[in-house]
Structure 1
Amino acid sequence: MKTSDRILNTIKKDGAVTAKQLADSFGITTMGARQHLQTLENEGILEFHDVKVKVGRPTRHWSLTKKGHAQFADRHGELTIQVIDAVESLFGSEGVAKVAAERESQTLNHYANALADSKTVEEKLTKLVHLRQQEGYMAELEQDGEDFILTENHCPICKAATRCPSLCQSELNVFQSLIGHEYDVTRTEHIIQGERRCTYSVIKTSEK
């Protein structure tokens, strides 16, 4: 993978970074990292903001622009929006709702079959993350005691979900159904609301 692609993947997953952080991570010089960052800025893919520090010059942090986010796959986004528009035109909002509900049902069945042998919530989430990675969501899992954090650094259906927000609710419904009622699944960050990733808290419910 080219250094520029590695830089984009790193920023997509981790958020804003400095040239020094990239240099340390990739084993290159800070000057070399700055050159790559400057090239990507010139292409309109990255932008920066300076953060004041107590001593010395401000630290420059680089992040993706809208064009930068667009470098990552959005599965047939424009075509999907056209299909949603056509369904709404022919069958109204009720038709769109039925399409979203059918997609939710099919997704749940597919995931449930894949997770059928999982015995614990951790096993379920680990397999779910693997499935989502295959679908382009750049998913990661962290554990905090009995609780978990599922992070998706990219949404390959973002354009469709922006046009049809019920798709996002469907995904939350699917996660909750898969995990079961011993845990509450809550979305705490949301890409289509302007945040850089979608994050789900999977928190063990209090015993009654």
Structure 2
Amino acid sequence: MKTNRFLMLLKTRGALTATEISKELNITTEGARLQLLKLTEEGLIQSSQESKGVGRPTQYFSLTDLGNKGFPDTHAELTVKLIQLMKDTLGEEALQTVISAGEQKAKQRYQQQMNQNNSLEERIRTLAEIRSREGYMAEYTKDDKGFLLIENHCPICAAAQICQGFCVSELNTFKFVLGEDVNISRVSHIIAGDRRCAYRISL
């Protein structure tokens, strides 16, 4: 269970030091280091050093590809094969037709759970809850620029890597359910190599 807590923390927060991890998990720094050593030996996390001025470099820990694979991916291998087969046999246009149909269903499903009379923040909160139930580990923050919708995991990442139409469809769905008067843009993208997907939202 402790191991899961470590991996979950690094998944949602990104690279952290042993001291930061110990504070987040309310354990001793020595206890954190022992767990981090174990996870490193198992190939689930990796460490890197960053120099910040004078003194010894600071050591940060983050998930490896193997560590990331411990989080759910919706039947990745089969999904990729089916998408590739559709592209090869039916063509790109047929695949886009299927993605568009899925987008329409997602819009209907999300809209049924949304109250358009609610404030923008309440709609974003509901959207984050829906996405979390679907495996995206979503959350949101508020700042002076508006809101940031964050998805710490992508359960369809393998599919999205070979067909970014899925990502376009998701953004279209967000725009639809949050309202035509809302500005939303993707500012971080897992497919582009970022740790998470994030969307800047404002009126």
CA–CA distance in structure 2, aligned partners of residues 118 and 197 of structure 1: 30
Q: TM-score, normalised by structure 2?
A: 0.95
CA–CA distance in structure 2, aligned partners of residues 130 and 87 of structure 1: 32
**1:19 maps to what in 2?**
18
1:24-59 deviation digits (Å, cap 9, x = unpaired) = 222222111111111111111111111124454221
1:35-184 → structure 2 map (5 Å cutoff): 35-116=34-115, 118-145=117-144, 147-184=146-183
1:131-163 deviation digits (Å, cap 9, x = unpaired) = 001011010111224721100000000001111
CA–CA distance in structure 2, aligned partners of residues 99 and 86 of structure 1: 13
CA–CA distance in structure 1, aligned partners of residues 116 and 178 of structure 2: 13
Counterpart of 1:177, as a letter, is F
SS in 2 for 1:181: coil
Q: TM-score, normalised by structure 1?
A: 0.93
Counterpart of 1:160, as a letter, is A
CA–CA distance in structure 2, aligned partners of residues 159 and 129 of structure 1: 22
Question: Pairwise CA RMSD of aligned residues?
Answer: 1.4
Distance apart, 1:17 and its partner CA: 0.5
Counterpart of 1:142, as a letter, is T
Name the % identity: 38
Distance apart, 1:79 and its partner CA: 1.2
Counterpart of 1:50, as a letter, is Q
Distance apart, 1:119 and its partner CA: 2.0
Counterpart of 1:153, as a letter, is N
**2:30 maps to what in 1?**
31
**1:195 maps to what in 2?**
194
CA–CA distance in structure 2, aligned partners of residues 189 and 117 of structure 1: 26
1:153-184 deviation digits (Å, cap 9, x = unpaired) = 00000001111100000000000111122211
Q: Runs ≥4 in structure 1, deviation > 6 angstroms?
A: none
Point out where structure 1 has 5 or more consecutive residues left out of the alignment.
Answer: none
Counterpart of 1:186, as a letter, is S
